Structure 1
Amino acid sequence: MTYPDRGGADEPVLSWRSPEGVAHIRFNRPGSLNAIDVAMAKGFRSACQQISEDPQARVVVVSGEGRAFMAGGDLGAMRDDPQATAQALIEGMHGGIRILARLAAPVIASLHGAVAGGGLGLALACDLGIAAEGTRFNLAYPKIGASSDCATSWALPRLVGLRQALEIALLCEPVDANEALRLGLVNRVVPAASLQAETEAMAQRLARGPREAQGRLKRLLRESLERTLEDQLDAEAASFVACAGTPDFTEGVTAFLEKRAPRFA
């Protein structure tokens, strides 16, 4: 493990890895609904970097302490020098998001309470999202006279389509968990009391999967909207052939023929 086990109680971002290979990034400013300040943004990027250097991290779970996942940026922290503070916040958060997007490990957003502003962008930038009943989503930026950050403008139209994305962005109406599921903003909605258990079950299932194949599939899907069909076919062919040379492929084929569950490395 290349990062401390869970970290100190007063750290703005906690990071740790379970023995099963599930790495956790947990925002830890519950008194501020995990609103992003400069320390949290830097802590997030640092946690992402540490996880990227950990060969045992097979899945990443991003979550929030207290009553909310993340209520967006800390507006109080921006009052004195808004441009410089905004730049520092964005550099940290965007740096972390770039790292998570490049990881072979699937990234799960475990969501509850408020998911607003940069919190919404981060949630959508993750590969999968699971939300507790009662979760509320809101883009929120126009309410403070700002455009978006944290990849929100990249992810939102890809998930819901341009016209729906514009409505969500410009009207800033809150979206509840069930509507978020219908729109494709999250993959699953579960009872609030079951969020942690359901997130862990999803993470453990992914952690048992073939790491290289999952990473390649994640990359293919993320890059598909930027390629032509011909280019995507070439990328798929190269990726599949590369997977066919791995021990996990051999194990997967053998397990299929022997009618048993595979045991990937």
Structure 2
Amino acid sequence: MMDGPCNINVLFIFLWLLTLANVDLCISSAFSKIQCIPSEREALLKLKHHLSDPSNRLSSWSPHGINCCSWEFVVCSDITGHILELHLTTLPPLQLYETSMFGGELHSSVLDLKHLNYLDLSGNDFGGMQIPAFLASMASLTYLNISLAGFDGSIPLHFWNLSNLIYLDLGGNYFEGSIPYQIGSLSNLHFLDLRNNYLNGSIPHQIGNLSNLVHLGLRGNDFNGSIPQEIGNLSNLNYLQLEGFSQFSKDGYVPMSTYVENLHWLSALSSLQYLELIHVNLSNIIDWL
């Protein structure tokens, strides 16, 4: 039988271990019940107030809901509680698709989501409004999808300063004007899609600076001039889709002013799996074929 001091030591060690276990349980419980940041919750409520939501898909975004991390379409950090992602897309096969689309105004309260890195507004109808210029200051974004969302006008120049972007999809809107040379600063991009807009002018040669690019979609625009040979620098590219300006005649659509001086740059695209050149004048490169 152990003497008194031994019993006391054993009891002390037992209580110490039990205390450690309780601390671990408290920490685990705290992390499992992460609450969203109050200021970010208010930002979401303001954002909802300015959006139109005809089918009430944002019903969980309520002033009575304390933890916005549990709200639909919202993803928070499991550690900090900061909002990281907003999935506000509307895509088929939702029933009554057109009456489910978000619209209205994209409010500047989204700027209060300082840690937001993923924003998807695709498949909605913002009624021809311009891209809000304040989006260009959301430096934390790595994923931005506003395709098929009813945006109009020109793409804000400072928009191309979002240097952390990995994924950018602006396709299927009504954007006009040319692609500025500043696009070459988005060196982290893996995916760039500008299809089915009304962009014109020449494709800037700085697009060849996007060395990480895997997908480049430029179909459905009115580009003119020479396709830049610098596209050949995109050694990781596996999807390339280009379309030039054309005019309809009795013989069908005829390429007007988009051409290639040669196709030798294609030989450098060793990862390319899909190539589509539409309404591009190839008359000067028969010897390459």
Tell me, yes or no, whether TM beats 0.5.
Answer: no
More strand by share: 2
Greater gyration radius: 2
More helix by share: 1
TM-score (ref. length: structure 2): 0.28
TM-score (ref. length: structure 1): 0.30
> Larger RCO: Structure 1 or Structure 2 (Cα < 8 Å, ≥ 6 residues apart)?
1
